[in-house]
Structure 1
Amino acid sequence: MRDSAIQTSRRERIDLWINYLIVALGFTLPISIAVNNLLLALILLLWLAAGGFKERWERIKNNRAAIAILLFFAFHFIALTYSSDPKTGFLKIIGREQLLLFMPIILSVIRPEFIRRALSAFLYAMFISEILSYAMYFDLVHIPWHDYAKEPYPTPFVSHLSYSPMVAFAVILLIHRLVYGDEARNVKAIYFLFMITMSFNIFITGGRAGQIGFIVALVFYLIYQYRNQTRKMLFFLFAAISAIVLTFFFNNSFNHRMMQAYHDLQSFQHHRNTSVGLRLNFAINSWELIKEKPLFGYGTGSFAKEYKQINHKLTPNARATSQPHNFYVLTLVQFGTVGLTLLLYIFYSLFKIASETDDSYRGVRYTFLVLFLTIMFSDSYLLGHYTTLFFVFVTALLFGGRVERS
């Protein structure tokens, strides 16, 4: 009996350390791959050292989204057996998507009182990133680690593709805290200031997917939160849409990126080697692959090899690619409709959890899912380090139960 009590006490202390590491992970998430990986390694080692796997499994098993993620990841190994390029599948696809496994791990150990701390740590990191972003934009600082040749946009730590979705979600979190938070007025004033400046920051940092995702997510959040207050909903929608329209006309970067996309679409038939043209070409050619093997696809890691062949056959003058910049298309080519069903089941499970969790964060949960479902049309956001870990971090925190105490 005494030994059991000692073991429980030891596990609780280790779990406490893990929770502090999760908070630290929230802060480093949008800043450093190396530090992220170090923290994840420490979390995993402590999680294994703590024991209590029966209790942890019970918590994982009772979360349908965690099980859905495990099923989706397990299918990667099944699809490896019939892949035309298993080496790439193992090293580049499974090697990257193993981050998904940290969702059930974090979910199984996170304590309710640490969820808000971890989300706050993420917001603090985004505050720092935003300040540095503006400093870069106005040419006030030179970031020594930033590759200005490859990444011309003012994103201090990550690429513009990863940065804008994280800023978009940070804005939604700030709106939530302004409306539902119990902070003092001076703290809410700071939140309001950063909400405004972050909203503009999205449109100077180049990521079109994140920009469109932000617009969709913001409109969705306002409609959902004020669905029973029509006048408020219309007022906030008018204010938000007006601000976005003004930004389009007066922000050269945003205007240029949107107009460039429009012209790319217009000239698609004659000029496919443009940013939008290539994405359309990837999807069209990939559809020919999907029709050949619609059920199970070509296997994990097979996309680059299979696409190179179909691209050479159909559009030899257009550039080939290792991934189609659309996670749904990538999933269909690798895993067929079975794989796409498993992917969509993850989001279905997350939506179900959100609908069954009764606290003020329900709208934030829905909006996060809408944001991800939107941006995945434009790139493989569950394949890159930052955005996959971002997805894992938020789903583990917000979809494991109530954030607020009853």
Structure 2
Amino acid sequence: MMFKNYSEKALNASRALAILAVTAAPISTAVASVASVLLILVWLGSGRAITTLSMSWQHPLGKIIVVFYGWLLIGAFYADTEWPAKLATLSSWQKLAFTFLLLGLFQSGLWKKRFLYVFVGVMSLAALISLGYWLADVPFIAKRGGPGILMSNHSAQSMAFIAAFLGGLMLLKDNPPKSLHLLLWLGLVLLIFNVFFISTARSAYIAMPVAVTFALVSIYGRRKLPHIVAACSLGFALVIGASGTIHKRFDQAVTEAGQASTDTSSPETPVGARVVFYKTALELVKENPVFGFGTSGFKSAYLAHLEQDHPSWAETSDPHNQYLFVWVENGLIGLLIFLAYIVIGMRAGLAAPPYGLAAASFLLAIAVSSLFNSHFKTFVEGNLLAFFLAILVSKASDRPGPA
């Protein structure tokens, strides 16, 4: 009995640390890292590590994670790179390990709800503080971006607020107490305003409408699809039309794309650089389409290709497109497994309403934003997705979870 009580307390502490880690991820990488390490230590000391891992393995998402990481390991052996580089790339995918671990920890619907209330509450408060700095036209921390950017960077802030917005939608669907109903609506307004009027993350301007539309269709059903698409299209069109920030960022993108040329040695703009990266990555895919260059092989293959055919083109270790990165390193086989992970994750979310719907929608948001970034691998967005997804799609137990 004493061991059982200790074990439950240790698992509850692990869950609390997981909530701290995911909530802190977009704000402080140091706090998130410490919380993640403590999570692992407390979980290992619970005496239930094998049991929870067994639960994780039983989940379809857990199985596809093992398959994908197994292919990454195989790719490391045929990559023409040194082992430090291989280990560094494998480490960048460690978020998948946290997803696997947490699938067996958050069986309780109560803990899922606790997580969402904490996460949505903290992000809504952050959005309120951000609004104050934006109105005052004062940077929170100069190196993090312009006025109103509180998080690690503007992209991290936008994706965190999108996740919180989706979580807030599901909390509202779950009939919250009247005392919280108005606060949740206020939080949603602050979050969506921040994404479109304060933050300068262009990928979020595309990802959020897609994710919110998907979430609403998931809630109200496909029969409402035409009405939801029409309402969302009109609503987001009005928001985008009213946002000077969006106009400025997309005008800048059009200008940068027009100026981009593969003849320049170092494109000076983000969009210009991406044009070069995409073209070069696609050429690499043609060289080794099925198996790729192996885990950690992107940078060396990219540099070798430039030296041989395009010595004036820009260098990079990442094409800023998650799918191209996986295809170049792990081939078509790796890309198909990776896409299967996304599909299975979304299906798992749709099968676990109401909170799983938020996870499925956020996974879609990350999938869309990863057309322009490598958000599955970056620390902030990658960890945010890994924890958010696992907590909300883990199979709920039939019995009440521990308090």
Does the TM-score normalized on the shorter chain lie above 0.5?
yes
Q: Is the 8 A contact 1:60 1:107 kept in 2?
A: yes
Q: Deviations over 1:38-74 (max 9, x none)?
A: 1111111111122234422320121121121222223
For the residue of structure 2 that corresponds to 1:81, the secondary structure is: helix
Give the deviation of 1:360 after TM superposition.
2.7
Query: Residues 198 and 352 of structure 1: is their aligned pair in 2 closer, same or farther, counting only changes over 3 Å?
Result: closer
Q: Is the 8 A contact 1:278 1:318 kept in 2?
A: no
For the residue of structure 2 that corresponds to 1:161, the secondary structure is: helix
- Pairing partner for 1:253 from 232, 237, 245: 245
Letter in 2 for 1:337: L
- Pairing partner for 2:205 from 190, 201, 211: 211
- Pairing partner for 1:115 from 102, 112, 115: 112
Give the deviation of 1:368 after TM superposition.
2.0
Equivalent position of 1:134 in the other structure: 131
Paired with 1:68 and 1:302, the residues of 2 have a C-alpha distance of: 23
Equivalent position of 1:325 in the other structure: 320
Query: Residues 125 and 84 of structure 1: is their aligned pair in 2 closer, same or farther, counting only changes over 3 Å?
Result: farther
- Pairing partner for 1:345 from 340, 344, 364: 340
Give the deviation of 1:23 after TM superposition.
2.8
Give the deviation of 1:226 after TM superposition.
3.0
- Pairing partner for 1:63 from 56, 59, 72: 59
Q: Is the 8 A contact 1:133 1:156 kept in 2?
A: yes
Q: Deviations over 1:131-154 (max 9, x none)?
A: 2322221236553xx243x63363
The alignment of Structure 1 onto Structure 2 pairs a total of residues equal to 395
Give the deviation of 1:303 after TM superposition.
1.4
Equivalent position of 2:92 in the other structure: 96
Q: How does 1:30-69 map to 2 (within 5 A)?
A: 30-69=26-65
Give the deviation of 1:210 after TM superposition.
1.5
- Pairing partner for 1:264 from 242, 247, 256: 256
Give the deviation of 1:327 after TM superposition.
0.5
Give the deviation of 1:340 after TM superposition.
0.9
Q: Is the 8 A contact 2:120 2:165 kept in 1?
A: no
Letter in 1 for 2:316: T
Residue identity over aligned pairs, in percent, reads 21
1:241 and 2:233 equivalent?
yes
Q: Deviations over 1:105-143 (max 9, x none)?
A: 122222412111112221122123212322221236553
1:354 and 2:349 equivalent?
yes
Letter in 1 for 2:285: I
Query: Residues 48 and 227 of structure 1: is their aligned pair in 2 closer, same or farther, counting only changes over 3 Å?
Result: closer
Paired with 2:127 and 2:227, the residues of 1 have a C-alpha distance of: 28
Paired with 2:146 and 2:80, the residues of 1 have a C-alpha distance of: 36
Q: Deviations over 1:185-231 (max 9, x none)?
A: 3421121122122112102211111221001112222334333554x
Give the deviation of 1:293 after TM superposition.
1.4
Say what the alpha-carbon RMSD is for the aligned residues: 2.6
Letter in 2 for 1:280: V
For the residue of structure 2 that corresponds to 1:85, the secondary structure is: coil
1:383 and 2:380 equivalent?
no
Query: Residues 224 and 293 of structure 1: is their aligned pair in 2 closer, same or farther, counting only changes over 3 Å?
Result: same
Unpaired segments ≥5 residues, structure 2:
none
Paired with 2:359 and 2:277, the residues of 1 have a C-alpha distance of: 31
Give the deviation of 1:386 after TM superposition.
1.0
Give the deviation of 1:269 after TM superposition.
4.9
Give the deviation of 1:387 after TM superposition.
0.9
Unpaired segments ≥5 residues, structure 1:
none
Query: Residues 362 and 392 of structure 1: is their aligned pair in 2 closer, same or farther, counting only changes over 3 Å?
Result: closer
Paired with 1:361 and 1:319, the residues of 2 have a C-alpha distance of: 43
Paired with 2:271 and 2:165, the residues of 1 have a C-alpha distance of: 27
Q: Is the 8 A contact 1:27 1:124 kept in 2?
A: no
Q: Is the 8 A contact 2:167 2:355 kept in 1?
A: no
- Pairing partner for 2:388 from 374, 385, 394: 394
Q: Is the 8 A contact 2:291 2:332 kept in 1?
A: yes
Paired with 1:238 and 1:90, the residues of 2 have a C-alpha distance of: 47
Give the deviation of 1:291 after TM superposition.
1.4
Q: Deviations over 1:239-272 (max 9, x none)?
A: 4333432333332211111122233344445887
Give the deviation of 1:384 after TM superposition.
1.1
Paired with 1:129 and 1:383, the residues of 2 have a C-alpha distance of: 24
For the residue of structure 1 that corresponds to 2:45, the secondary structure is: helix
Q: Is the 8 A contact 1:155 1:205 kept in 2?
A: yes
Give the deviation of 1:290 after TM superposition.
1.2
Q: Is the 8 A contact 1:216 1:371 kept in 2?
A: yes
Letter in 2 for 1:276: V
Query: Residues 198 and 13 of structure 1: is their aligned pair in 2 closer, same or farther, counting only changes over 3 Å?
Result: closer
1:188 and 2:181 equivalent?
yes
Q: TM-score, normalised by structure 2?
A: 0.89
Paired with 1:352 and 1:242, the residues of 2 have a C-alpha distance of: 28
Equivalent position of 2:194 in the other structure: 201
Paired with 1:249 and 1:270, the residues of 2 have a C-alpha distance of: 33
For the residue of structure 1 that corresponds to 2:78, the secondary structure is: coil
Letter in 2 for 1:166: A
Paired with 1:331 and 1:282, the residues of 2 have a C-alpha distance of: 14
Paired with 1:379 and 1:201, the residues of 2 have a C-alpha distance of: 20
Equivalent position of 1:372 in the other structure: 366
Q: Is the 8 A contact 2:349 2:356 kept in 1?
A: yes
Equivalent position of 1:159 in the other structure: 153
Q: Is the 8 A contact 1:80 1:86 kept in 2?
A: no
Letter in 2 for 1:327: Q
